[in-house]
Chain A
Amino acid sequence: MTTRTVKFSIYRFDPEKDAKPYMKDYTVELDSTDRKLLDALVKLKVVDDAISFRRSCREGVCGSDAMNINGKNGLACVTDIDTLKQPIQIRPLPGLPVVRDLIVDMTQFFKQYHSIKPYVINDTPAPDRERLQSPEDREELNGLYECILCACCSTSCPSFWWNPDKFVGPAGLLAAYRFIADTRDTATNERLDNLEDPYRLFRCHSIMNCVDVCPKELNPTKAIGKIKDLMVKRIA
């Protein structure tokens, strides 16, 4: 079996031991079956079992292993190692408090997500069976519902870095539009009211970092544009 050597520079910080974060160099031997960055990180854990990172499904569905890879946010489990320039620099997602090494505190991110009420609101009496949608109405939800909440987008957004407590962020706004666009939801006006705020929605200046990094190739900027379009439609 052919092997290859890959060099890493990894952000380390244990608040119980370290006064401040530092970058540590590692070299790891990989065999031909190790194709993704996550494979290498798991091997690295054999070399140094103190390295901490989150991972779960290892196939780009759970969103646990989001990290900053050579300066760009992405999922370790779907990033090909051989496409990365060495030494591969791994850092935690920017803009969120670091719990330890590559693990960040996602509280603020999920607070913003919950603030848009990420569930269908419909006060009309429930039908005997499910609420139906036409195929065309359902089509509008494509590109919205697939978000895995990995936070790659929101933590690559400068507006979220500066105001994470006030700006909903691209992930939250994509989810907001997912429910605004849902024909089964009856709270469209309340949802638009909830977002009409110079901080919550209008901190987005369409720089599209979110689109650039989304591992699911979703387009939060487009969804945010559609929210603004609906607001204009409401007043014009």
Chain B
Amino acid sequence: MVNRKVVGAHYGLRDWLVQRVTAVIMLVYGIAVAAFVLFASGASFEAWQALFACTWVKVLTTVTIVALLWHAWVGTRDIWMDYAYHTGVRLTLHVLTILWLVASFVYSVKVVWGA
């Protein structure tokens, strides 16, 4: 294969936008949870458990976890693009990152939605 520098993948904007939107989701969720811990719960385990028994809290938590993992994907992929120059090595790192993030998501579902 000829050794040409190739650029022009025509993507990047969506990831850049996703990184910003997911950051806002995490920020809002983080502030809400911090406010609950500081002001509403008296910081007791029972109050925390009661909060996470609500379906809407579970849904919002899962949405935030998806935001976190998507955000982590864009950021980690950026690091591999910056520092891993060999295409095969970079693709392998990309795949391993995706597997790790998907596994993290599955485990988070078990934690949030499990009994």
The interface on chain A, measured as residues whose beta carbon lies within 8 A of the other chain's beta carbons, has a size of 21
A232 in contact (CB, < 8 A): yes
Chain A residues within 8 Å of B, Cβ to Cβ: 158-159, 162-163, 165-166, 193-194, 196-203, 205, 228, 231-232, 235
Q: Is the CB of A162 within 8 A of B12?
A: no
A to B CB contacts below 8 Å, 18 in the list: A162-B83, A163-B82, A166-B5, A166-B7, A196-B11, A196-B12, A198-B9, A198-B11, A198-B12, A198-B15, A199-B7, A199-B9, A199-B81, A202-B15, A203-B81, A205-B78, A228-B13, A228-B16
- Shortest distance from the beta carbon of A231 to any chain B beta carbon, whole Å: 5
* Partner pick for B13 among A166, A194, A205, A231, CB 8 A cutoff: A231
Q: Is the CB of A159 within 8 A of B82?
A: yes
Contact partners of B15 in chain A: CB under 8 A: 198, 202
- Shortest distance from the beta carbon of A234 to any chain B beta carbon, whole Å: 9
Minimum CB distance partner of A163 in chain B: B82
A172–B15 Cα distance when bound, in Å, is 22
Minimum CB distance partner of A228 in chain B: B16
A235–B81 Cα distance when bound, in Å, is 25
A110–B89 Cα distance when bound, in Å, is 30
- Shortest distance from the beta carbon of A229 to any chain B beta carbon, whole Å: 11
B110 in contact (CB, < 8 A): no
Contact partners of B78 in chain A: CB under 8 A: 205
Minimum CB distance partner of B9 in chain A: A197
* Partner pick for B17 among A194, A200, A203, A232, CB 8 A cutoff: A232
Minimum CB distance partner of B11 in chain A: A198
Known: A196-B13, A228-B13, A232-B17. A203 touches B82 (CB 8 A): yes
Contact partners of A202 in chain B: CB under 8 A: 12-13, 15-16
8 closest cross-chain pairs (CB), A and B: A202-B12, A198-B12, A231-B13, A162-B82, A165-B5, A199-B7, A166-B7, A197-B7
Contact partners of A194 in chain B: CB under 8 A: 8
Q: Is the CB of B82 within 8 A of A232?
A: no
A200–B10 Cα distance when bound, in Å, is 10
Q: Is the CB of A198 within 8 A of B17?
A: no
A203–B74 Cα distance when bound, in Å, is 12
Contact partners of B12 in chain A: CB under 8 A: 196-198, 201-202
Contact partners of A158 in chain B: CB under 8 A: 82
Minimum CB distance partner of B10 in chain A: A196
- Shortest distance from the beta carbon of A95 to any chain B beta carbon, whole Å: 13
A163–B78 Cα distance when bound, in Å, is 12
